[in-house]
Amino acid sequence: MKRLTKKSILHFLLIMFVITLLFELIDIPVAEKGNPDSFIKYLDTKVPVYLKKYTTAGLSVGLIHDGKIIFLKGYGYADLDKKISVTEKTLFQAASVSKPVAAVGIMRLVEKGNISLDSPVQNYLTRWHFPEGEYDSSEVTIRRLLSHSAGLANPAYGYDGSESPDSLRSIEESLSHQREGVKIEYKPGTQYLYSGVGYTLLQLLIEEQTGLRFNDYMKKAVLSPLKMDSSTYESGEVDQKNLAIVYSDEGNALPNLYFTEKAAAGLYSNTEDLSEFVLSMIPADTSDRHTNLLKPETLKEINLPQKDIKDRQPFGLGFALQKPLFRDYYEVYHYGTQGPGWISYIAFFPDKKEGIVMLSNSPGGQAIRYQIRTSWLQWVTGSTNYMMKIQKLVNILKIIIPVTFFGLILLSILLFIKSRMKLKN
């Protein structure tokens, strides 16, 4: 076998270095330091610029500081043609932010003793059962479904949705769908594997255990107690006059999509309501005047990595977790990105009592979400711009290093094949 030449190795490493450098040089915006007014000033200054730069129709932001909602504001348009502005009350599809809200509904059943976190989900189901497979379905527990560690595959492109609510399939049909249904791909409890179908199973569990439709239970157990009066998992209940229009990259209005898989992707909400939800996830002191639906010990369990699964991107119960660089505490968060252009994000630091909510109706909202999130993390954690760049570089290297390793293996194989072909000739 022909060995890798120094020249080929240097070329490959140079390419990897240039790619890393390009990512590193991407601008990380700097939020002004100081009191909350400085971050609000950053939003008022930068968001209009971002909307234009990333061809984004609208964005709505909510800010929680010191255990209180201090800022709710919309930027841009909910309807470009009619020039209807986004406000804190403008409704958006919340995409995958639907999942952590549904997770709180599950945890309310856990606290009441209706279900057990470490019991197999199949113990509570009668309308649908796992198909025969390589792995033991009794290891698919409620805890593992909540933390994306049940070994279930996610649909290749997420849920497709339907342009008409009349053509929606049943939950059972969704779970058995050839392309989007339940597939146990890894031994449950061995690794994290993000899975929307896991939350569709939890949606079925709620209906079976409560005897209520999923949306009716969620209103009773979560939405109404938090006064999230504009939020719903039922498309027929949405105030259409207050629902933002969703747009393509080119700024063209697109049809709204409907989902059977409501727990995974079906929530309609606004920043006013979702800020109340985020606030409810931050443990309250006696001086705080907000509602915790869950007990302090439950909130603590939600906000910690589950079952010692080692992963650079761990999950709690319903939320993803990430430690800022050189910090010993977690950012608890969840993204939402759903076709054709719904973008969402919620995050909080439980101990610091800080949180943020973002909703957008255009694909460009992803870039804005990144810019604002980076500045918010810097502002909350006190990290310098330099430290944030190191954090970004570390995250990139976690991807670049294994890619480089497998790239070298591939390069070695190609050189070997090339040398064998020369010998034959």
Where does the pLDDT of residue 386 fall: very low under 50, low under 70, confident under 90, or very high at 90 and above?
A: very low
For 285, other C-beta atoms within 10 Å of its C-beta total 8
Check if the beta carbon of residue 306 is closer than 8 Å to that of residue 317.
Answer: yes
Give the other-Cβ count within 10 Å of 126's Cβ: 8
Model pLDDT for residues 80-120, shown as the tens digit of each residue: 999 999 999 999 999 999 999 999 999 999 999 999 999 99
Can you tell me the distance from the alpha carbon of 253 to that of 285, in angstroms, rounded to the nearest whole number?
45
The answer to whether 178 touches 169, Cβ cutoff 8 Å, is no
Give the per-residue pLDDT at 24. 47
pLDDT at 307: 66
Q: Which residue has the higher pLDDT, 352 or 407?
A: 352
User: For position 21, what pLDDT does the model report?
Assistant: 55
3-class secondary structure, 154:
coil
**Is residue 15 pLDDT above 80, yes or no?**
no
The secondary structure of residue 240, as a DSSP letter, is: G
- Assess whether the previous peptide bond of 340 is cis (omega < 30° from 0): yes
Domains of the chain: residue spans and CATH = 6-26+387-424 (no CATH), 36-381 (3.40.710.10)
Give CA–CA dist 58/79, Å, rounded: 9
Contact 76, 87 (CB under 8 A): no
Count of other CB atoms within 10 angstroms of residue 33: 11
Give me the mean pLDDT over the 287-291 stretch: 63
DSSP code, position 155: P
Per-residue confidence (pLDDT) for residue 333, from 0 to 100:
97
Mean pLDDT for the chain? 86
Are 352 and 136 in contact by the 8 Å Cβ rule? The answer is no
**pLDDT tens digits, one per residue of 57-89:** 999 999 999 999 999 999 999 999 999 999 999
pLDDT, tens digit, 9 for 90 and up, residues 112-156: 999 999 999 999 999 999 988 899 999 999 999 999 999 998 765
User: Going by DSSP bridges, is the β-strand pair 342-349/354-360 parallel, antiparallel, or unpaired?
Assistant: antiparallel
Q: Structure pTM? A: 0.83
Q: HSE (CB half, 13 Å, CA atoms) of 311?
A: 22
pLDDT digits (tens, 9 = 90+) for 195-248: 999 999 999 999 999 999 999 999 999 999 999 999 999 999 999 999 999 999
Supply the DSSP string of 244-276, one letter for each residue: PPEE-TTS-EE---B-S-HHHH--EE-HHHHHH
